Structures are given as C-alpha cells and as structure tokens.
Chain A
C-alpha cells in the first residue's frame, strides 16, 4: 500500500467534474504559475523539516484534517463515506493538487483502488508528466480535467516556469487513447485571457484533438493571502479578476468555434 502527501480532501466538491465529488489534493507541482491559488501544494511538498512543519501546522486548521502523509486506504476510507451522494449525482473522486502526477505511484494506486470500489475517477492535471505514467493513469481514469494555460511556449515558460511541449503532447496522447477530457483554461487578464492566446488555444484544440468541451476558470484572488502566509511574494498583487465582459468575450470566442463552454467548473 503506497502513501501520498496531501494538503486537503474537500468533500461536497461540485466544480471538479460531474456530480457531487470528493477532491483529493496532492502536494507538489512542476509549475510555478504566477496566479497560483494553491501555493501550499508546493510548500507542503518539501521534505519534512522546520519550514514544512510550520506550514503544515498553519494549514492544518480545524476542519482540514488531511495535511500530511496518508495511505491509499486512509484516503479511500474518507472518500467512500460519501458514496451515496456520488452514486445519485454521478459524482466520484477527483485527484487534484498541486499536480497529482508529481506523486505517480500514489496517484496510480489511488485511481486503481477507487476504480475497484466502483467510483467515478477524475484527474485534474496540468499535463506535465512522463508519457508512460499518463498512459497508465488513463487506464484507471474516467475523466481528465486538463489545463491549457498558454499556447505560446515562451509565454508559458515565462509565467509557469516550464515550456508546454510535453503538455500539448500528453493531451494528444490522451485523446488518441480515447480518454474523456474537459479542457480547463484559467482566464488571467492580460496573460491567458488575451485574444491571441484564446485564438491559439481554440485552433490547437480544433486541429489536434477531438475534445470540444471547455471550462473557463476566471482568475480570482483567493490565493493571494496564502502567499503571504507562506512568506512569499505574490507576483500579481494588483491584478483584478476578469470583468463579466471579459468572461463573456472568452465564452463567445469558444462557442463561435463550436465548443461547449462552462464557466467556473
């Protein structure tokens, strides 16, 4: 039985896939997006030490009982408690992060064990992972929530710290494998929510993959305070969330190309 490092399990999660779900948040992430709203995913991923312990204590506030290392069995014990809600709503378990592929052995074990219990499984990923692991995960995953942030490789590297070649390849791999995929695009004003990026994104999707469902996630400032608590500088201190018009324009862009668009989920 493998163990993984978690920073939360949220129940009654209704925006990470269909129905009522529990979302398991794994620590670790290969990216460092400027707008990150879960920076604790990185901080808590560090090997045990003074800094990680302090961060863990801070984030292990009442009601956040899942900060630290847990076995697959422990996670499933929590997740299975809401089975009656999943079964009626078409929900299940979503593994998110951070980036769940940063803990590949635990991710695969959790997905397989969840499947064995009859749960619908979803993985919320940035897509940066070795192709072999992605292939293995696809065999135990009912739905990928797949982030596409920036299509331009240079821009992607600038704002996330990594190039996007592997991300785009893995998306095409999953599509070839017949995986169900919902594309998620964060709408960060002036960065991702630009006409050029939206155009490039929709063209890539139309040309290269069969997935026609897009979720637009308007940037929000919920993560700002967390950066401060972790003693880090937030690189977008003055950035305002997109206006309703910005969101409508992005929606209109994708709808005009034949995509099914959802906002915020």
Chain B
C-alpha cells in the first residue's frame, strides 16, 4: 500500500454536479481511503479562492498527491496541475476525475446511482494518484512561423496581427483571390462600411508585409510533426507540393451559405431570393425605384430562420438545429439599405425570434423606425410562399395578433438563410480536427478555450468554427493570434513527459516494438547483456502502440503504467454497487 498523503477535492460545480450527485456522500465514501490525508468539497474547485485553499493544504499538510473530482479533464486538467506546481508538488502527481460530463450530467435521473458511481470514479483516481511518479516535461524549440489556412477576413486579419508581432506567416487560400465572402459586399453592418473596401485594404497590407508569404489556389495536403514544429505540405495549383516548417496553424476556412432546396418556401419562383442573392442585388441598386429582373419592387417579405433552427423531420437527413446568429442582423441591415434607397418600399419581416443581440439591437430599432413591419410565426407553422399570377403571396399566421392568418402580396421574398459548415473533406482528413454536431470545427471549450482544438498547436478562427458576424470572426482570429504568440514567442514549448519507457531488465531485444512505432521513436542500444530497446522521448507521442506488442511486458507509457491502470481497475471494481454496501 502506498504511503502517499493525498488531498482529494470534490467539486459542486455550482450545482452542475451537486444537483445530481450527493457530494457529501462521495466525501464520506472516500474520506477513509488509506492514502487520503485530507478531503474536502468546494462549490467551485476551479475558483481562485479554492485554488489558494488547495495550495495552502498541500503546503501545510505536506501532501504528495492530489485528486480533484470535477468536470472533464479537457477543461481543468492543466488548471490543477498548475495548482500542484504552484504549491511545490510535481504536477504529474495530480489525477483528474471527471464526475460531471461522465457522471452527474448523464445520471440526472438517479442521484443515488450517480453518487455511488462518483465514489467509484474518485476511488479509481485516488488509487492512481497513490502511484503517480514525479515527471519532468520536455522542452522543444518552436519555429516562430504560423500557417494560416484561408484568406477571408479572419485569415487576413490573423496574418497581419501575427506578422506585426514578428511571427512569420504562410497564408494559403484555396481560391485564386483572397477576401472570402466579405470581399463581395458593398455595405456591411453595423456601420455600413464597404466590405470590399475593407478587404482591399487588408489585402494590400498583406501583400506589402514582408513577414507574410501568400499563396493563392493553394491547399494543405499533408501535416506532420507536432506542436511547435509542424511540417506542412502545400500544393499550389499544378506545381509540385512544397513543405514549410511552422510552429502552429490557424484554420480559418470559413462557411458556406445554406443551400435552399427547389420549392422550399417557393424558392425557384421568380422573385424568391436567398439572403446572399438579396445582398448582392441591393448592393447594386441605385437610390430611387428598386428594380429586380426589370420589375419594380414595392413590397417585400423576409422569411427568417431558413435553414436554421430546423426541427428533426423525416425528409431532413441532418437538420441544422443551431441558430446562425448573424442572419437577423444582416436582414435588418438589408432592410435599412432598401428603405434608405427607396423610403416608400413596404417591408414585412416574418420572424420566429429576433436575435439582433448586443449593439445590433439598434439595427432592429432603425428598421422599425424606417417602416418595417414584424410578424412572428411559430416554427411549426412556417409561412407559405405562392405565386399569385402577378407576383407572390405569402401566407403567415401571426402569433402577435392572436394567430390571425395574413396574406401578403409582395414583389420579392427574401429567404433569410443561415451559415452551414463548409464541405472540406480533404482538409479534414489532413487536420483530423474534431467536428461538432453542427458540422463546424469544434473548439475545446466555447468559453474557456474558444480557439484551441484537441490538436495542440492547431487553432480555429472565424466561421470555420460556427456562424459568426465578420467582427466576431476577427475577434476569434485575434484570439487565435494571441494563442499562437503565447506558444511561439517563448521560443520553446513544454511537452508532456507521458511517453513510452522501456524496462531494460525485462527487454530481450526482440525489436518487435520498433516496427510498431509510427514515429520511428524506438531504437536498439547496446547494454551489458546485448541490445535493448530505447525510446527517443522527443519523437515519442505517447500513443502506446508499442505497449501491447511487447511479449515481455517491458514497455509502459508513463502515466498509464501497469500499476497505475490496474490499481484503477481494482479500485473501481471493488466498489459495491448496492445501496449501503459501500464501506
């Protein structure tokens, strides 16, 4: 039995855990475990105050092991390793136990079962913590260059910000021209600035900046290496692919607009247009009479949430359940443009909810002030668009006038379409970034780590991550820039020491492990008894493919050794499930 002195902290996570897990019962269930020197609960273990309390406990109680049972390790593993380090404890003596995503949130319907499971999980963590060895992270030199993929507004802005910080940039764009969607826009919200002008200015600065190398018609075709030192193979046009060395990557590949199906809300009929089609049209209209396909446009209807907030339907293979965020504001802005060009134009907005959040609320106010009329419909009874011989008729049940059914004759119907994830299988295959249920790239955490991905050194920005306005895309791009800068400007990155290790006493030199390693990280070295396997720690990624192939059981990945894993198995298996049976 280990002689460790372990501190165990069980988090309420506000009520995210304690509403469904009896944290007091968990505390009592683990308090008497042999190595537990101190056990406490905390409302938020990640709060500064609790972190300070843990540091104090580690120092005062002379702890040499730490377990926090809280949310997913994806969120706070590093937080608590840092707590251990600040208290003078080796950070790799910390074990994180996930009792939120893998316990309280899953078993909300059965608190006693969730509580018993939490006890088993924490016991597993304590058992492992009792066997964790102190480890030192590895340092590798970082390459002060970044590959930015996509030269839309996010990619351009990120490239300039990086280059201004002295970080070299390779900016690649799949299309021949940089600029993305914004480059085609004449007026953008909220300030009616010209999108084309904005992009022109950015592109000029990019071309003039000596720290940025721009490749058009270029794609990433292969990625190797790891954080701080990637090798990226790029193909530009028909030329032979070439490789660049970079320390990090920013993926800013943008979005596609929702493709309305023929017949959906009358799409295909003359006068029914999508939001981008409307935008392209209104941007080219002179002041005065609005004309579309030779017809005067005097009355218009906007149908909101087309292709967004979709409910599951039998004929819809993959509904877009999310709100596209930008489209309410974009439609309001378009309506303001139309009213400004032709003050007599009548505009009806058929909405489910108006989500012109934050400062964009003024667009809603301005559109209303300029005469736009708003009619709220229920998502289950969407408006119907039909041809009436002369033009179009939109039928809608207005929820704000006691469900009155209204028929509105209009000259144009604007389908306010949202954003969808861009189809980019080839790039996805190279990057291997997780993709969310909405089809966009997934960040580690939308609030805590909003531009980081599970692939260290690969960041996401802009609408490749989800629907955003252009200013939000730029904010995300600059966030990714600051992450790259923090990573690369130090000159080195510290890598986890959780790599494979050979027990040379057991190794017979059969060399089976050498073939199993995809990184060529294992070599044979001479020793007194002949040759044994040796792991080059800077090449080893700690995946452990070599571990089960060893016929002598001579290899372990540090942090996942036989003792550590088997102690967890034993501890979690030993906990009886029945009520009151726990000791």
A and B: bona fide binding partners: no
Binding site for B on A (CB under 8 A): none
